[in-house]
Amino acid sequence: MNAKNTDFGSFAQDVMLGLNSTPKTLPSKYFYDAKGDKLFQQIMALPEYYLTRKEYEILELQHEQILEQVLASNQPFNLVELGAGDGMKTKILLRYLTEQKVEFTYYPVDFSGSVLEELEGSLAKELPQLVVKPLQDTYRDSLKKQVWEDGRPNLILFMGANLGNFGVDEAKNIIDHLRVGTKRGDLVLLGFDLKKNPQTILNAYHDEQGVTREFNMNLLDRINRELDADFDRDSFVHWPTYDPVSGECRSYLVSEKTQDVTIGALNQTFKFEAFESIFTEISKKYSLSEISYLASLGGFEVKENFMDSEGYFADVLWEK
């Protein structure tokens, strides 16, 4: 596939919009360039970052139940994955489906071209018989374009707590895109990080080794590299917060001093007051009742909530 880098125009434009807002903000989807993808892979291996291991456990122990319905129907289907990433967890499902000799096409969608290329390469080696059609796109745009819509039933995977990266209204909007983008009988499997001890959550975004700090900082590095800017990364502090009421874990970069940052590609200088922040990411934690409410908004029926042994994470199966 042709994995080109993020369209320069939209990155520059989003940075311009975000840094001209009050309070300042930058979209978290730009974390994921080649360097950001590597850092996120390091995050997934951190002792504090329980999310990946918990979802892995769910898929490993319960993949047969999760896939029971698509297999029982015994007809070719499309497996669409929004935010496929490195496919480490999805491969559990892909291997099992391949063993069952069921006919399906895998459509991994990701915003990062570099991660898709790697995924395609590793699948060609590990599961050479698999039909893979990668798409470099955002969740919303891919759901609008529906390139996989050929009349076959769809199982749409939206795992990894990726929906958590949206605020409440945006998440509802994505669910509405899922509603429009699915037909009767289609299945959706969504991964949600659940509300739990606030300290456990906060630690997952404030690891001791400082990998998450680097991940957050990569946004500034990326603006420096790609948009000819002069952010002094050492004068920003990585600051995650967690609000147990809303379930919102938010990450900020806080400027430790009054400073000017010039972004050459935008021809603009941005002023930071001392301790002014840039909001960079939301990772919302859900309760099961909030999740069921989202299902009803999308016109989906909750088939089953699959959870890990500690109740940290849920992969929920919905049917249209």
Provide, rounded to whole angstroms, the least separation between the CB of residue 295 and ligand AVJ.
Answer: 20
Candidate list 55, 214, 281, 308; residue touching ligand AVJ; CB under 6 A: 281
Provide, rounded to whole angstroms, the least separation between the CB of residue 39 and ligand AVJ.
Answer: 9
Residue with tokens 């500034």: 220
Tell me: does residue 43 bind ligand AVJ (CB under 6 A): yes
Residue 254: DSSP 8-state: E
| Binding residues for ligand AVJ restricted to 48-67, rule: CB under 6 A | 51
| Binding residues for ligand AVJ restricted to 156-175, rule: CB under 6 A | 160-162, 164-165
Residue 259: phi and psi, rounded to 5, are -160, 160
162/277 with CB nearer ligand AVJ: 162
Residue 3: DSSP 8-state: -
Provide, rounded to whole angstroms, the least separation between the CB of residue 184 and ligand AVJ.
Answer: 30
77/205 with CB nearer ligand AVJ: 205
Total residues at interface with ligand AVJ (CB under 6 A): 12
143/266 with CB nearer ligand AVJ: 143
78/212 with CB nearer ligand AVJ: 212
Tokens describing residue 68: 């029971």
Tell me: does residue 314 bind ligand AVJ (CB under 6 A): no
Region at 160 (left for phi over 0; alpha for psi -120 to 50; beta for the rest):
left
Provide, rounded to whole angstroms, the least separation between the CB of residue 139 and ligand AVJ.
Answer: 12
42/235 with CB nearer ligand AVJ: 42
Kindly give, in sequence order, each residue whose CB lies less than 8 Å from that of residue 9, ignoring residues fewer than 6 positions away.
Answer: none
Residue with tokens 């969740």: 139
| Binding residues for ligand AVJ restricted to 187-216, rule: CB under 6 A | 205, 212, 215
Q: Are 168 and 135 in contact (CB under 8 A)?
A: no
Tokens describing residue 227: 């948009």
Q: Are 259 and 232 in contact (CB under 8 A)?
A: yes
Q: Give 113: exposed, middle or buried? Use CB within 10 Å, 0-12, 13-18, 19+.
A: buried
Question: For residue 39, what are the CA distances in angstroms to 31, 94, 217, 283?
Answer: 9, 25, 11, 17
Kindly give, in sequence order, each residue whose CB lies less than 8 Å from that of residue 111, ignoring residues fewer than 6 positions away.
Answer: 6, 29, 32, 83, 136, 137, 138
Contact letters (x/-) for ligand AVJ, 215-254, by CB under 6 A? Answer: x---------------------------------------
Q: What is the largest CA-CA distance in the chain?
A: 63
Provide, rounded to whole angstroms, the least separation between the CB of residue 101 and ligand AVJ.
Answer: 32
Tokens describing residue 17: 């919009």
Tell me: does residue 110 bind ligand AVJ (CB under 6 A): no
Candidate list 104, 177, 283, 294; residue touching ligand AVJ; CB under 6 A: 283
Provide, rounded to whole angstroms, the least separation between the CB of residue 270 and ligand AVJ.
Answer: 24
Q: Which residues are near ligand AVJ by CB under 6 A?
A: 43, 51, 160-162, 164-165, 205, 212, 215, 281, 283
